Chain A
Amino acid sequence: EPEVTQTPSHQVTQMGQEVILRCVPISNHLYFYWYRQILGQKVEFLVSFYNNEISEKSEIFDDQFSVERPDGSNFTLKIRSTKLEDSAMYFCASSSQGAVTGELFFGEGSRLTVL
């Protein structure tokens, strides 16, 4: 069964360092997302990506964040200069028809710890 895979499963980094979280969405999907969950808090939308561009982003997704689909298979989230408050579980998701169907396929998440 196809699934969304994320790497790394856990990354520890120093404040101010750049981090890249990688995702391999399901191959025929067209919509891609990043969500995050700070420990004990809600899962929060960061960004959606469709047709090789950002279709929607939240207020959390500031200039420190960027997304890219460099080679048609990977979908990456880059945090340029990490802050302590970026520590969270980051979930990638993909969909063939968009969020309205609810059929978002999520990865298992990448846990980011910023020290």
Chain B
Amino acid sequence: AQTVTQSQPEMSVQEAETVTLSCTYDTSENNYYLFWYKQPPSRQMILVIRQEAYKQQNATENRFSVNFQKAAKSFSLKISDSQLGDTAMYFCASLIQGGSEKLVFGKGTKLTVNP
């Protein structure tokens, strides 16, 4: 069974600073995908970044990057130059490759960016 764990229920960061959100996962599969989703207050959840497990290179999307450590089953999200609009719940999720449509989510980390 897949599990995703986010050990930080809440975090805060000063505007323009860098913050790292932690995520660990457990799966017996070798081929899978990992995702970070963002849910701003009273808004829809949106995809931030995606990582294929077979790729060693860490995914990057503008100010968002991941540190994917496959052996350690760790998938942290780094937000550089934090902006007020980054304030949101951040969910880590996994998906087994091979036809499954089931995303498995962590509990989320509430990030507050302070001015």
| A48 touching B102, Cβ below 8 Å | yes
| A45 touching B44, Cβ below 8 Å | no
Contacts of B95 on A, CB cut-off 8 Å?
99-100, 102
Work out how many contacts link A and B, with CB atoms closer than 8 A.
Answer: 56
Interface size class of B (residues with CB under 8 A): 20 to 34
In angstroms, how far is the closest chain A Cβ from the Cβ of B107? 5
In angstroms, how far is the closest chain B Cβ from the Cβ of A92? 10
Q: Contacts A42-B107, A100-B95 given: A106-B44 contact, CB under 8 Å?
A: yes
Q: How many residues of A contact B (CB 8 A)?
A: 27
Contacts of A35 on B, CB cut-off 8 Å?
103, 105
Say whether B62 faces chain A, with CB atoms less than 8 Å apart.
no
| A107 touching B101, Cβ below 8 Å | no
Say whether A3 faces chain B, with CB atoms less than 8 Å apart.
yes
Which A residues are within 8 Å of any B CB, using their own CB? 3-4, 31, 33, 35, 41-45, 48, 50, 55-56, 58, 91, 98-108
Question: Other than the known A56-B101, A58-B102, A99-B102, what 18 A-B pairs have Cβ atoms closer than 8 Å?
Answer: A4-B44, A31-B101, A42-B4, A42-B105, A42-B106, A42-B108, A43-B91, A43-B108, A45-B102, A45-B104, A48-B102, A91-B45, A99-B103, A100-B95, A102-B50, A104-B47, A108-B42, A108-B43
